[in-house]
Amino acid sequence: MEIKSIDHIGLIVQDIEKAVRFYTDVMGFALTGEITPWAGSAEECAAMQVPAGTEYRCAMVQAPGGISIQFMEFSAMQSNVPLNTRGAHYLTFMVDDIHGWVKKLEEHGCTAMSQPLSYDEFGQTIQWCYVTDPNGIIFELTSAVS
């Protein structure tokens, strides 16, 4: 048995339209699965550990390079687990111009958690910083410096 690849990343958001708009318009992702409403069956809800009959909407976007992100927005349900808390989880995007991306993202409602920092690894300098998107999702930008 082996893991062949990562199929997609699933993220719960509070505003699915806002998430799709940001990742397609600003980040350059392609919308590959329209925003679709679902009413979870008892079995689906149990598997997702949400109350029976919970309604949700989902959409799929695909990043340049191929990985997909599925956004899910649950209606009329509050989680007792804080979403996207620091240190919990994040996405990482390899970019060509980290400073340019930080500027562009801040112009579109994102918040850089720091200026780009750097470290040396295997003889190469890597720049990185964490950013929160308009939905509060934390992601990392990383760039290799020549």
To the question of pTM greater than 0.85 for the whole model, the response is no
94-107 average pLDDT score:
92
Of 26, 109, 30, 40, which is closest to residue 73 (Cα–Cα)?
A: 40
Output the pLDDT for position 86.
Answer: 45
Mean pLDDT to the nearest integer, 16-21: 94
Dihedral angle, C-alpha 56, 22, 89, 46, nearest 10 ° = 10
- pLDDT number for residue 61: 96
107-123 burial, b at 16+ Cβ within 10 Å, e below that, comes to eeebebeeebeeeeeee
Give the model's confidence band at 103: pLDDT under 50 very low, under 70 low, under 90 confident, else very high: very high
Residues 23-41: pLDDT tens digits? 999 999 999 988 878 777 7
Quote the tokens at residue 68: 């997909």
Q: How far is CA 2 from CA 5, 67, 135, in A?
A: 9, 19, 34
Write the pLDDT tens digit of every residue in 49-74. Answer: 677 778 888 899 999 888 889 888 88
Asked if the model's pLDDT at residue 82 lies above 90, the reply is no
Q: Tell me the pLDDT band of 117, cut-offs 50, 70 and 90.
A: confident
Higher-confidence residue of 118 and 43: namely 118
Mean pLDDT of the region 79-108:
76
pLDDT at residue 83 is higher than 60: no
